[in-house]
């Protein structure tokens, strides 16, 4: 329902705004069923995040949970919102079905979408605190793992990458360009530039 609100052809302004802000294609937004909490049928428990983007955690069996992201220009005090009782999950578990031998890890959902748009099989883990032991088992079948680490903070992105590297063998941490994360790298450099910066082709031969 929220995805249909965002991609409503009669009111494309919200969709175009998100595409411009994030550099994501309409195809990517549809692939991940990104939506916006608006319209007359908003769930009562979601009224506090009206106007937020909805980010479903999809799996081969359906939607596992939902997370909400504050849109640009919003004065809402919270950047993200997860309903009470929501457990920490891996974003884009569909990428784990990738038949290849390698996978990338991003810190956050929009970074994961940006990497996917660039043709990189990627999952998202929203920060160091979200890491759980079972995630190591989910990645045990991959012989090479690349962490596409944020470089727009005070070093948390590098710490995130180093934490993953301590947990998983054959892991390489690559920082985004200074002042950028994966998503902003896509906006700044485009698909080719993103792949070139993170050395995807070289790392995955």
CATH code for position 184? 3.40.1360.10
Residues 173 and 103 in one domain: yes
Q: Are strands 53-59 and 62-69 parallel, antiparallel or unpaired?
A: antiparallel
Calculate mean pLDDT across residues 154-166: 91
**56 sits in which H/E element:** strand 53-59
Q: What is the pTM of this model?
A: 0.93
**Boundary residue ending a domain (81, 110, 130):** 81
**Boundary residue ending a domain (81, 109, 139):** 81
CA–CA dist 151, 107 (Å, integer)? 11
Percent of the chain with pLDDT strictly greater than 70: 98
32-85 pLDDT tens trace: 999 999 999 999 999 999 999 999 999 988 999 999 999 988 899 999 999 888
Distance of alpha carbon 136 from the chain centroid: 18
CA–CA dist 37, 16 (Å, integer)? 16
Exposed/middle/buried for residue 166 (C-beta within 10 Å: 0-12, 13-18, 19+): exposed
Residues 192 and 135 in one domain: yes
Task: Assess if residue 86 is contained within a domain.
Answer: no
**Boundary residue ending a domain (52, 81, 110):** 81
Looking at the 3D structure of the chain, how many domains does it have?
Answer: 2
Cβ(151)–Cβ(184) below 8 Å: no
- Name the residue range of residue 15's domain: 2-81
């Amino acid at each position: 329902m929220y995805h249909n609100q965002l991609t409503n052809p009669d009111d494309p302004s919200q969709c175009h705004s998100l595409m411009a802000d994030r550099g994501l294609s309409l195809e990517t937004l549809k692939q991940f069923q990104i939506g916006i909490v608006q319209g007359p049928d908003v769930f009562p428990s979601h009224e506090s995040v009206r106007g937020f983007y909805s980010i479903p955690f999809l799996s081969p069996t359906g939607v596992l949970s939902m997370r909400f992201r504050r849109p640009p220009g919003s004065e809402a005090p919270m950047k993200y919102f997860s309903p009470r009782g929501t457990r920490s999950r891996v974003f884009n578990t569909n990428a784990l079905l990738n038949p290849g031998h390698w996978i990338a890890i991003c810190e956050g959902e929009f970074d994961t979408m940006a990497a996917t748009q660039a043709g990189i099989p990627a999952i998202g883990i929203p920060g160091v605190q979200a890491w759980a032991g079972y995630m190591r088992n989910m990645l045990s079948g991959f012989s090479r793992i690349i962490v596409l680490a944020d470089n727009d903070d005070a070093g948390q992105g590098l710490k995130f990458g180093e934490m993953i590297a301590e947990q998983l063998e054959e892991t390489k941490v690559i920082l985004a360009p200074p002042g950028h994360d994966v998503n902003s790298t896509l906006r700044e450099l485009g698909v080719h530039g993103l792949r070139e910066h993170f050395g995807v082709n070289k790392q995955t031969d």
